[in-house]
Amino acid sequence: MGSANSTLDSPPGSAHAGPTFFADNAKALEIKEAANALFRAKDYQKALDLYSSIINQYDDRVMLATIAIARCNRAACYLNLEQYQNCIDDCNISLLFQTFNPNVAEKAKFRLAKATKALDDIDAEKKAADPSYPGRPKYDVAERMREQMRESSASSAKFQNADTEEHRPFGYVVRMKDHDPEYVHMRDMVPASLTFKAPQGGEAAYATRRDAFVKRIVLSHEPELMQKHPWKCFNCGKTATAWIHSPVANLASFYPIIKDYARPVCEREGSCATITRTAMEKADREDPEISREAGVRIKM
């Protein structure tokens, strides 16, 4: 057993994955290993080119963790090549994925700090040489994230109205606050059209598709979730046989995710389920962390 912040991970589900998802992910990992070898040999430019090939070719159709590692490793190349702003961009993108891989997040934070300090030192030198130097333009993280999101989504846009729709990987995170383990991480695939904002006039149809998709994902992963741990009922402590779900979907984003504030129960209906639902509804209203959660809460 881990601490109260421990997590359980699993590979992506296959219910919605396209036929090439796992093959593409395996290929991306092969390229990553080749890039890692070049990096260890200090051939930073060639390593950078290979990491870039992963991001450019596989960004929208492999595991999120694979892309996070590729970006974080490419940031290390940029850092060694003294391309500090590019390093900062990749580090900030990698940090969006830190739920999946805390080790990658720590490396990204370290490289982000080094690149930022390097730019600060360059600014200081320029200012010393020329007191009128205004400093480098302010780096707007939020705007750069939006730019990166648009770039990342461009390759998926053409599939929005296709007969056979492209799917993108996303994270399904189940959180049991004040429980051990607190998080269970799972992965699956979402139709590309649900990762864009609803078209004007089509909001109702989009919401219907989104809600149905989220419910299907939550229920389809419940058997897998049950096998992760010997769960006990939130209310009575008996062996759990079902879950009460309260998912928040944030699919139309650079980092699509469903975060499910869930509780195990001994029966899906009955007094324990009622008490658990009441406690969860109270937490939804009063817990600032839950109330600030980005996305749309889906009623199960």
Ordered by start, the domain boundaries in the chain are: 17-157, 167-297
Helices 84-95 and 141-157: crossing angle in degrees, nearest 10, is 70
How sure is the predictor about 86, in pLDDT bands with cuts at 50, 70 and 90? very high
pLDDT for the residue 285: 79
Lowest mean pLDDT among 139-143, 198-202, 213-217: 139-143
**pLDDT above 70: residue 203:** yes
CA distance 174 to 217: 12
8-state DSSP, 192: G
Lowest mean pLDDT among 20-34, 92-106, 220-234, 237-251: 92-106
**pLDDT above 50: residue 214:** yes
Q: Which CATH architecture has domain 17-157?
A: Alpha Horseshoe (1.25)
User: Which of 214, 227, 231 shows the shortest CA–CA distance to 295?
Assistant: 214
Instruction: Indicate whether this model's pTM tops 0.75.
Output: no
- Residues 136-161, mean pLDDT to the nearest whole number: 55
Q: 14 — phi, psi (to 5°)?
A: -110, 0
How sure is the predictor about 11, in pLDDT bands with cuts at 50, 70 and 90? very low
- Residues 264-285, mean pLDDT to the nearest whole number: 90
pLDDT for the residue 162: 37
Please report, as a single letter, which amino acid is at residue 200.
Q
- Residues 119-126, mean pLDDT to the nearest whole number: 94
Which CA distances in Å does 64 have to 37, 60, 156, 188, 218?
22, 9, 15, 10, 19
Residue 51 and residue 83 in contact, taking contact as beta carbons nearer than 8 Å: no
pLDDT for the residue 159: 33
Top pLDDT among 290 and 234 is at 234
Top pLDDT among 212 and 114 is at 114
Greatest mean pLDDT among 105-114, 131-140, 221-230 lies in 105-114
User: Which of 151, 215, 162 shows the shortest CA–CA distance to 192?
Assistant: 162
